[in-house]
Every structure is written in C-alpha cells, then in structure tokens.
Amino acid sequence: MESLNFIIQYAVPFLAILTVLVFVHELGHFLVARWNGVKVEVFSVGFGRELWGFDDKHGTRWRLSAVPLGGYVKMFGERDTVSVSDSVSGDDDERPMTEAETRVSFHHKKLRQRSAIVVAGPLANFLFAVLVFWIMNAMFGIPKILSAVGTVMPNTAAEDAGLQAGDLVVSINGQPITLFRELSEIVSVNANVALDFEILRGDQVVRVQATPREWKDPGENAADQAAGPSRGLLGVRPSMEMVQTTRTGVVEGLKLGFEQTYFYSAKILAGVGEMFSGERSSKELGGVLSIAQFSGEAAQSGLVTTLRFLAILSINLGLINLFPIPVLDGGHLVFYMVEALRGKPLSEKLQDYGFRLGLGLVLLLMVFATWNDLERLIDKFG
C-alpha cells in the first residue's frame, strides 16, 4: 500500500512533468528541422523498446518508449553517408547519398541552419516557461505577501519589541509599506538601528520601536563569517494567509512572463557560479530523486504550484542543455563555432572522442547528484 501511495504521489507527477518537458524540448528541434527541410525519421519520448507509435505523412515515426527518462529526435543524414544492410550477409555497409537524400540531410544543411536546429530545443524550453508564467499571471494572478506578522521567533528583536502574530505593519519610520518584501528590505539594511513601527493590531493602531539585530552568514569557518556581509534581522515570518492576488492583463502578463523567465534563468546561473566558486556547497545539487520529490510535493500543493515548478524546471532543462559539454546541445554549438572559425568541421574521430568525454562527464554528474539525493534521504529517514 505504501508503495502504491509513493507511485501516485511522486512517480506519476514526476513522469508526467518530465514527459511534458522532454516533448517540448524535442518539439523545438523537430519543428525547426522541418522548417529547414530536414527529414525527421524518429520522434521518441523515452528510450528503449517502443510501447506505442505511428507514422505521420512525412515519414516520421512518433514513439512512446519504455524508459520515460528523456527522449530524442533522430534526423536523417547526421553523417555524409547512408548505412545499408546486405540482405544476404546481414552486414551493414555505407554508400554516398543521392542528390534527393542530400537535400533532406541534416549533415548537408548550412551551418546556420544546423545551429538553429540545435538551439531550438533549449529555446523551446524557455518559451514554454514564458507561456506557463503568462497563463499563471493572466488566469490566477500574482500573489503578493502582505506585511503581516505570521510568527514571532523567540529571543529576537521582534519579541523584545512586543510584536505579535497577526500584526499588520503599515509603516516603518513614517514610510508606508504594504508588502512583506518591503518590510524585509528596510530591516535588512538597518542592523542595530532603532526603527519606529506603526502597526494595525485588530482595529487599533499601535506604535512600537524595534532594533534589528546584526546577522552574518556563518559560512564554513570563522574567516568566512568575518568577511561576509551582514544584515539586519527582526525575527518574524510572514503570514501566508495575508496574501493579495492581482491578475494581470494579457499584454502585461506576457511581458511579466518574459521577466520571470529571465529572473529565474539568472538566479539558476548565479547558483551554478557560486558552486564553482565555492560560495555554495555542491551538496545542494539534486538529481532525479530530488526532482521526483519536488514534483510530488508540487502536485500535492495544487495547480498553481505545479505550474510554477513546471516552468522553473523547463528553464533548468534549457540552461543545462546549453552547457558547452559534448553530447548536450551546447556541445554541438561549440563544435559549430569551431567549424565557423576553421571553415570546415572537426574530424569525425575528434568529434567522437568529444562526445565520449561529454557522455562520461554527464554520467559522472548524474551519479554525483543521485548520491546527494541518497544522502539527503538517509538523513531524513535515518
């Protein structure tokens, strides 16, 4: 029974979300390949044995495969020869392409066309995130957490000042505020500074004075703490019941969708940069198990949370595929950049070595991320 609950709560949402994102990514490759006259032989969601499929009028085999952890688009002519099988010996041989085959071959397309086809997958993920955010903004609105106190933490400046759960902060030092974000911004830059709070408590206006305490990120050692920036800490958490939702217009919602996609992209890249620089621990890197856990938690939290998670994960997928690692789309683009500089592509042998190296790096990264997931599960469940 517990296994069945786990499958329903985590595995099903994870596979549903992953299938949507893989389909979107591969659809980007597929559409731009078709627009550039490339014949697409297979469009597969998943790997391995085909569970279900059909052929469209253009000769593309659409497949749903047994291992639902990814997918691919197989384009005709990814090399300059065609493999043929000998019906007598069963051996494979290669022959030059005919003129008709060359016209629909990926390998024979111009460099800009091949580059466009490769970059279309990640781009589709970014545009899908914009679309999801747009739908959320226009249909469900943008939630804004009001400047209400949900919880007063013990032994903090807020407790010393007499702040109480349910208090609505309407101004600080005479500056009107309505959002909890505004409260946090003022407090964070006023460590050890006495601040005058005007509060609505029930139907009464109360004025209190609080002095945010100085707080520094402890880092990994004393030297990190001494060098790190400090900020003011009041010691309150917001009330999640005091949320104001504002729907946007169609145009405003679309513009905000692009801004949100850019914001999360920059935030994810900044996090990756901090891992490389040592500012953040690589233990934060999560793998398939973490994604499955977050997928299940998002699904249990409702449609809005699921859509937000779907958009953010789509951005992650787009960014990861642009990393300059052979096997990923970004690796192909690096090869194309070299081709543009040299005036001719790298040798097939060198590209093959590059792809093997890239595959090894990706597999090592997956193993490391999964190990982090397992350590977190062990810590959680003992």
Q: What is the CATH number of the domain that holds 166?
A: 2.30.42.10
**Mean pLDDT over residues 260-271, rounded?**
89
| CB-based contacts of 326, cutoff 8 Å, min separation 6 | 332, 334, 335, 351, 354, 355, 357, 358, 359
What's the pLDDT score for residue 122?
Answer: 95
pLDDT at 336 over 80: yes
What's the pLDDT score for residue 69?
Answer: 80
Name the percent of the chain lying above pLDDT 70: 85
Do the Cβ atoms of 41 and 90 come closer than 8 Å?
no
Split at pLDDT 50, 70, 90, the class of 224 is very low
Q: Which residue has the higher pLDDT, 162 or 361?
A: 162
Query: Which of 102, 126, 36 lies closest to 73, judged by CA?
Result: 36
Asked whether residue 42 is assigned to any structural domain, the reply reads: no
Split at pLDDT 50, 70, 90, the class of 141 is confident
Asked whether residue 235 is assigned to any structural domain, the reply reads: yes
- For 210, phi then psi, to 5°, come to -135, 145
**How many domains, the chain?**
1
Asked whether residue 91 is assigned to any structural domain, the reply reads: no
pLDDT at 257 over 50: yes
Least confident stretch, 102-106, 120-124, 193-197, 345-349? 345-349
What's the pLDDT score for residue 80?
Answer: 59
Asked whether residue 175 is assigned to any structural domain, the reply reads: yes
Do the Cβ atoms of 47 and 69 come closer than 8 Å?
yes
Asked whether residue 186 is assigned to any structural domain, the reply reads: yes
Query: Which of 236, 232, 218 lies closest to 154, judged by CA?
Result: 236
Asked whether residue 297 is assigned to any structural domain, the reply reads: no
Asked whether residue 168 is assigned to any structural domain, the reply reads: yes
**Mean pLDDT over residues 58-75, rounded?**
89
Split at pLDDT 50, 70, 90, the class of 89 is very low
The whole-angstrom distance between residue 202's C-alpha and the CA centroid of its chain comes to 42
The string of DSSP codes covering 91-149 is -EEEEEPPHHHHHT-STTS-HHHHHHHHHHHHHHHHHHHHHHHHHIIIII-EEEEBSBE
Q: Exactly one of 26, 41, 159, 185 is catalytic; name it.
A: 26
Asked whether residue 169 is assigned to any structural domain, the reply reads: yes
Catalytic site residue 26?
A: yes
Range of the domain at 233: 144-245
Split at pLDDT 50, 70, 90, the class of 314 is very high
pLDDT at 381 over 60: no
Split at pLDDT 50, 70, 90, the class of 290 is confident
Give the type of residue at 4: L
